[in-house]
Amino acid sequence: MANEVKKVNTIAIADIKNINAITDADLKKLNTLEFTGTVLNAWQGSRGLFAGGRAVFTRLATNEYINIASTSGTSDASGDLDYARSTPTGVSNKARIVWGPGYTDGSVVTQMDYQNPANTTACQDFGDISVAIQSSGGAATNATSGNWNGGRFAGGDSWSNNIEAITIASTSNATDIGSAHETSAEGAGLSNATYGIRAAGYIGEGVVRQNFDKWTIAGPTGSATGVDTGDLNATTYWLCGSEDDSRGVLAGGNDNS
Is the distance from CB of 209 to CB of 184 less than 8 angstroms?
A: yes
Is the distance from CB of 144 to CB of 168 less than 8 angstroms?
A: yes
Convert the pLDDT of each residue in 208-232 to its tens digit.
999 999 999 999 999 999 999 999 9
| Ranges of the chain with pLDDT below 50 | 5, 7-8, 27-28, 30, 34-38
What pLDDT sits at residue 197? 97
What pLDDT sits at residue 96? 93
User: Check: CATH 2.30.110.10 for 47-251?
Assistant: no
Domain ranges of the chain: 2-34, 47-251
What pLDDT sits at residue 61? 87
Q: What are the angstrom distances between the C-alpha of 236 and each of 2, 52, 186, 248?
A: 79, 22, 9, 16
Residues ≥6 apart with Cβ < 8 Å to 189: 89, 136, 137, 138, 139, 140, 149, 196, 197, 198, 199, 241
How far apart (Å, rounded) are the C-alpha atoms in residues 192 and 197? 9
* 88-106 b/e (C-beta count within 10 Å ≥ 16 → b): bbbbbbbebbbbbbbbbee
What pLDDT sits at residue 147? 97
